[in-house]
A and B are shown apart, each in its own frame.
Chain A
Amino acid sequence: MIEIKDLNKSYHMGSNSLHVLKGIDFSVKEGEMVSIMGSSGSGKSTFLNILGMLDEADSGSYTLDGKPIKNLNEKVAAKYRNQFLGFIFQSFNLINYKSALDNVAMPLYYQGVKRAERMEKALHYLEKVGLAQWATHLPNELSGGQKQRVAIARALASDPKVLLADEPTGALDTQTSYEVMELIQNINDEGKTILLVTHEDDIAHMTKRIVNLKDGLIIDDSNVTQVRASVAKNKHLQSKQTSNV
């Protein structure tokens, strides 16, 4: 699904230049669920943004679903993003003047889907994330967890091949994080490829493979046994109850 070879990325600020990614080789097969870890500033977001075609690498090759991603103009990049990728951001990035339903329907608008069909599909995905009854609410009327679930529904709406999530639980408390992870696991169970960035160990262990970034290189890449978020959620709930007693 994803093939990366010798990927390099530097940021230039005036005369200074910062080599963030120093030759990354990486591949992901369809249906995988990968977490990318590393200390702050190690280049996780940069890497994910390049994978998401939100940013461009300086050198190296990147193939997504067999298509070379190189020197794409904005038009093609937008098309690929719309067809292949779904994004989930730490800060949700919902459009604040649009209802939950309209937010979810947005990718479909850019796919050229007609309004009626769009709304139907959007509602379907809102149901999937358990927010059907919140469809007409604006983002600022929703909790963080709900917002992230709307964002997940939006990412799913265009039926992408790969979901990219940059710290999807970064702004959520533990309980809500697990709920969101449960949802993401379910999506992966249905066969969708998922890459997520996190610096929380417990979240990383809910994926099937952990990639560790350090100083612009992958220092570790290993498969792990997936911890089911539903189990972790219940454990957490119990421990909270005991500590409250």
Chain B
Amino acid sequence: MFNIERWQEIFDTISKNKLRTFLTGLSVASGIFILVILLAIGQGMENGIGQQFEDDAATRISVWTGVTAESYKGLNPGRRIQMDNEDYTRAEQKNIDQLEYKSGVYSVWGQLATYGKESGSYRVEGVKGDYQFLENETIVAGRYINESDLANNEKVAILGNRVYLDLFKGQNAIGEYIEISKIKYKVVGVYTDPGGEREETRIFIPLTTAQRVYAAGNNLRSMVFTLEKQEKFEDALAASEAFSASLESDLKQRHTVSPTDERAININNTLENAKRFYDLIAMIRGFFWGVGICTIIAGVVGVSNIMLIIVKERTKEIGIRKAIGAQPLSIIGMILHESIFVTAIAGFLGLIFSLILLELVGPLIESDYLLNPSVDFGVAITTVIILIIAGALAGFIPARRAANIKPIVALRDE
């Protein structure tokens, strides 16, 4: 392999057979190029869809109630089910070990908030301190709701960034007082939300305050939990499914709802959604891999074909070389060396070219479903190596045959 004389001979042959070299190289390079681009698009779609799910904590489980659909134990359908603090405490007590964040929620829609001359209609949510993490919120000024706010029914408010911009026009808001439905609240924090504007047109106040101000007693509109993180997705999914199921059955039992009723208790488990989404991604990935592997196979077939033709075309030359003293091994070596060299160079050129294209075009793509297309470099290198090996194998068989035919037969081949 590192015989300088052999290299000179190879370069000589390659430089004097440019078209042949070019065609071999082109088929390899374009195969790699297409494969890398395909894989990158697959990855980009995965990234894009993945981002759609980044808004809320990935293991979030939320519960809200509705109206019963079935009669049960003598109770009529159409009954409204109302959760309260007791439900929350039970769920909390029962699962205290595996809960990461938790909050009961009492929210009201369309509340008029005013500051000076500015006003707007927003959703007001009474929540606990954990809610910040349940909603993936980032505090950009001040603080979030804390335990003492809850204990003392403090009239404090945390504004969504949109609300803050509407009411305060970028001026300092912390420590200022706003009015929500004629009641004064002290602004103690401003947050942003990865979900964007829609999620930032909310005002958070302490849950206890909300229940009192809106005369809700102990009632809750919903409860939201996340579970402790798990190493494996499968484990996390199993834990959250078990949690959802037990929560549902406990609630149904306490509120006398039929176990088969699907309307009264609603549980949204993001992890289950995520599973559907991961399945989709797996399918997309599988599809692109399928196409990719077909591309590689096509590339391998192409390279093999070219190698066969090259060896056929060189039969006479091989005969001449043998007549003047070339050993069979040196013939095989020459052909393999040349084919490996050409496929390797072409493969890496195709790889580099496709990576450059991704680097240039990738950031320009603005689509919800295609984000930052890129490839795993290891995968790309592996495919190049597969193609090189395929080229070598494809060259080896005819090369060996050519090297083994008697020179007289090869020479007769006109």
Spell out A's residues near B (CB within 8 Å).
Answer: 49, 52, 54-56, 74-75, 78-79, 81-83, 87, 89, 93-95, 97-98, 102, 106-107, 109-112, 114-115, 154, 158
Are B324 and A74 neighbours in the complex by a CB distance under 8 Å? no
Least CB distance from A119 to B in Å reads 11
Which residues from B are CB-within-8-Å of A154?
A: 324
Residue B317 at the chain A interface, CB threshold 8 Å: yes
CA separation between A52 and B324, bound complex, in Å?
10
Q: Mark B15-53, 1 if CB is under 8 A from A, else 0.
A: 011000000000000000000000000000000000000
Q: A98-B16, A109-B5 are in contact. Are A54 and B323 (CB under 8 A)?
A: yes
Are A110 and B320 neighbours in the complex by a CB distance under 8 Å? no
Are A87 and B406 neighbours in the complex by a CB distance under 8 Å? no
Which residues from B are CB-within-8-Å of A54?
A: 323, 406-408, 411
Are A106 and B321 neighbours in the complex by a CB distance under 8 Å? yes
Binds A, one of B129-137, B190-198, B326-334: B326-334
Which residues from A are CB-within-8-Å of B324?
A: 81-82, 87, 106-107, 110, 154, 158
Binds A, one of B6-14, B141-149, B200-208, B233-241: B6-14
Q: Mark B378-407, 1 if CB is under 8 A from A, else 0.
A: 000000000000000000000000011011
Q: Mark B313-356, 1 if CB is under 8 A from A, else 0.
A: 00011011111111111100000000000000000000000000
Which residues from B are CB-within-8-Å of A158?
A: 324-325
Are A107 and B320 neighbours in the complex by a CB distance under 8 Å? no
Q: A54-B408, A110-B330 are in contact. Are A93 and B323 (CB under 8 A)?
A: yes
Are A98 and B408 neighbours in the complex by a CB distance under 8 Å? no
Are B327 and A75 neighbours in the complex by a CB distance under 8 Å? yes
Are B13 and A93 neighbours in the complex by a CB distance under 8 Å? no
CA separation between A154 and B324, bound complex, in Å?
9
CA separation between A75 and B325, bound complex, in Å?
9
Which residues from A are CB-within-8-Å of B8?
A: 115
Are A107 and B325 neighbours in the complex by a CB distance under 8 Å? yes
- Cβ contact of B323, chosen from A74, A75, A79, A81, cutoff 8 A: A81
Least CB distance from B6 to A in Å reads 9
Which residues from B are CB-within-8-Å of A111?
A: 325
CA separation between A106 and B318, bound complex, in Å?
12
Least CB distance from B295 to A in Å reads 33
Spell out B's residues near A (CB within 8 Å).
Answer: 5, 8-9, 12-13, 16-17, 316-317, 319-330, 403-404, 406-408, 411
Interface centre among B8, B12, B16, B404 (most CB of A within 10 A): B16
- Cβ contact of B411, chosen from A78, A82, A89, A95, cutoff 8 A: A89
Which residues from B are CB-within-8-Å of A74?
A: 322, 327-328, 403-404
Are A114 and B5 neighbours in the complex by a CB distance under 8 Å? yes
CA separation between A78 and B325, bound complex, in Å?
5
| 3 closest A-B pairs by CB | A82-B325, A110-B325, A54-B408
14 more A-B residue pairs beyond the given contacts A74-B404, A78-B327, A109-B5, with a C-beta to C-beta distance below 8 A = A49-B408, A54-B406, A54-B408, A74-B403, A79-B327, A81-B323, A82-B324, A82-B325, A89-B411, A93-B316, A95-B321, A98-B16, A110-B325, A110-B327
Which residues from A are CB-within-8-Å of B325?
A: 78-79, 81-83, 107, 110-111, 158
Task: Pick 7 A–B contacts, CB within 8 A, sort by A.
Answer: A54-B408, A55-B408, A74-B327, A74-B404, A78-B322, A81-B325, A158-B324
Least CB distance from A44 to B in Å reads 14
CA separation between A98 and B9, bound complex, in Å?
10
Least CB distance from B21 to A in Å reads 12
Interface centre among B324, B329, B404 (most CB of A within 10 A): B324
Q: Which residue of A lies closest to B320 (CB)?
A: A93
CA separation between A57 and B325, bound complex, in Å?
20
Q: Which residue of A lies closest to B323 (CB)?
A: A87
CA separation between A97 and B338, bound complex, in Å?
16
Least CB distance from A110 to B in Å reads 4
Which residues from A are CB-within-8-Å of B17?
A: 97
CA separation between A105 and B330, bound complex, in Å?
16
Least CB distance from A5 to B in Å reads 22
Q: Which residue of B lies closest to A93 (CB)?
A: B320
Q: Which residue of A lies closest to B326 (CB)?
A: A110
- Cβ contact of A78, chosen from B12, B13, B317, B328, cutoff 8 A: B328
CA separation between A78 and B327, bound complex, in Å?
5
CA separation between A94 and B268, bound complex, in Å?
80
Least CB distance from B13 to A in Å reads 7
Least CB distance from A20 to B in Å reads 13
Which residues from B are CB-within-8-Å of A55?
A: 406, 408
Interface centre among B9, B328, B408 (most CB of A within 10 A): B408
CA separation between A115 and B5, bound complex, in Å?
7
CA separation between A82 and B328, bound complex, in Å?
13
Are B317 and A95 neighbours in the complex by a CB distance under 8 Å? yes
Are A78 and B326 neighbours in the complex by a CB distance under 8 Å? yes
Q: Which residue of A lies closest to B414 (CB)?
A: A91
Interface centre among B12, B13, B407 (most CB of A within 10 A): B407
CA separation between A78 and B331, bound complex, in Å?
11
CA separation between A97 and B317, bound complex, in Å?
10
CA separation between A75 and B16, bound complex, in Å?
28
CA separation between A154 and B13, bound complex, in Å?
19
Interface centre among B323, B326, B329, B408 (most CB of A within 10 A): B323
